[in-house]
Amino acid sequence: MLGAGGAARSLARSLAGAGGALVVSARRPGEVGEGWRDLARMRVVGWRTPEETDALREATLVINATPLTAADGPAPLALIARGALLLDLNYGADVTPWVSQARGEGRTAHDGLGLLVHQARHSLALWFGPMPPLAPLARAVGWPR
């Protein structure tokens, strides 16, 4: 997990609940809050440290939960295990440069547009009752892309 903010914490809790081991890379690892401490099988490493590099090389899933969107973005692709699934929570009119570069290298990479679609679906269900169908929401924003 690249980043230690609110979005990262939410996903980390889900991954931990599914039994996954998690390495969180934080710019200020000493400031990672108490809300993280109860997660089993989780450790925090410093941003751009040798420990982060080791974790990226061993990862099967790398999630960018930072606002970084440049091509070299949240982590250099050369450091990430070739078969790792990449997920960038950022989204916009086009896929992020990091996702685009990863796809150009033949990697499996997705931006955060799908997350937006699913969040919208659950919000609509909370507001109006029944869970709306996924397809119309996905079509409305052009997902998947």
Q: Is 126 helix (H, G, I), strand (E, B) or coil?
A: helix
Residue-wise pLDDT for 32-73, tens only, equals 877 777 777 888 999 999 999 999 999 999 999 998 877 667
If one compares 88 and 20, the residue with the highest pLDDT of the two is: 88
Residue 1 pLDDT exceeds 90: yes
Residue-wise pLDDT for 88-131, tens only, equals 999 999 999 999 999 999 999 999 999 999 999 999 999 999 99
Q: How far is CA 24 from the centre of its chain?
A: 11
pTM of the prediction?
Answer: 0.90
Query: Which two tokens mark 84?
Result: 């790792």
